[in-house]
Each structure stands twice: as C-alpha cells, then as structure tokens.
C-alpha cells in the first residue's frame, strides 16, 4: 500500500482529529493529509508554489519535508520517529547507504537511517545547486559553482 498526500481545505484540516505533523497557524496557505493504511497525519505549509517531498525509507517508514519542516513517520506503529525544524528552507532528501541526507538551501544534514538522529551538519558557502553520490563520498555543487566534498563515508 502506498503513501498518499491529499490536499484538504483549511476547514478540513482544522476539524480533522488525526495528529498534526507540522503547521504554523498564522502563516499556512496549504493543507494536506499524509496517509498510509489506516493512519494519517495533518500537515500545513506556507507556499502555494511548492509541494512536500515524500521519500519511502522502508515499507512502513516515510520522510516528508516542506518549508522549514522535516519529519520521519512510522506508519506501522503510528508514530513520528523524527521531527526537525530546519533553519533554512527544505529542498530535497536522499538515501545513501545507512544515512538520510536532508538538503536545505544552505545546509546538508546527515541523519542515521536506523537511529533517526542528526549525525552531522554541513554548511554550504552558497545556495545548494546539485548533489553527487560518488562511491564513498558525496560532492555538493553550490550556486557559485564551488564543489564541496562533505566527507568520506566508507565507515
């Protein structure tokens, strides 16, 4: 069974009784439910121009990020495993080996895939442009065309 993201109205969001994953009551313009099986979570975000990015980590564990929010949900146990308020706007998320890499405008955050804790944070010199996974290392290109190697990941 796959994960569904269903846009809902402000009223549907407000009166639904499933748990809230993230919201800012004063600034939200978009509202949705993320559902898998019999469990759902509410989320809200600011921008009309972007949609949340969902990544399946395993068959029952899913990550979702939008605006300055990122969370990992276990739909098997109906629990939020990890919830992080970001400093910069969320752009994307990637799985590589035993890690989850959260990409924001000016930072990459490395999270353990099995322990769901921040392991390292990598500041970028300029806005994120592209990420390359090369063997045991990761390279990030920023908007100023600099390539930053964020570490040897062989261990």
Virtual torsion, Cα 86, 90, 92, 96, nearest 10 deg: -10
Question: What pLDDT does residue 49 have?
Answer: 87
Question: What pLDDT does residue 153 have?
Answer: 64
Rounded Cα distance between 73 and 60, Å, is 8
pLDDT tens per residue, range 108-139: 999 999 999 999 999 999 999 999 998 888 99
pTM above 0.95, yes or no: no
Rounded Cα distance between 120 and 112, Å, is 9
DSSP string covering 57-103, please? SSSSEEEEEETTEEEEEETTTTEEEEEEE-SS-EEEEEEETTEEEEE
Nearest to 59 by CA among 47, 74, 69, 46: 74
Q: Set out the domains of the chain in order of their start, with CATH numbers.
A: 1-85 (no CATH), 87-155 (2.40.10.360)
Question: Average pLDDT over the chain, rounded to whole?
Answer: 91
pLDDT at residue 99 is higher than 70: yes
């Amino acid at each position: 069974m796959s994960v569904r993201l269903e846009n809902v109205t402000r009223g549907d969001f407000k009166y639904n009784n499933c748990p809230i994953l993230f919201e800012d009551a004063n600034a939200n313009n978009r509202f949705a439910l993320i559902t898998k099986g019999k469990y759902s979570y509410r989320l809200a975000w600011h921008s009309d121009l972007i949609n949340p990015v969902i990544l399946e980590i395993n068959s029952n564990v899913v990550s979702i990020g939008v605006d300055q929010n990122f969370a990992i949900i276990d739909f098997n146990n109906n629990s939020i495993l990890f919830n992080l308020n970001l400093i910069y706007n969320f752009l994307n998320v990637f799985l590589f080996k035993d890690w989850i890499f959260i990409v924001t405008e000016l930072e990459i955050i490395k999270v353990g895939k099995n322990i769901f804790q921040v392991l390292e944070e990598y500041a970028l010199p300029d806005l994120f442009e592209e990420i390359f996974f090369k063997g045991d290392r990761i390279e990030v290109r920023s908007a100023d065309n600099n390539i930053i190697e964020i570490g040897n990941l062989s261990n």
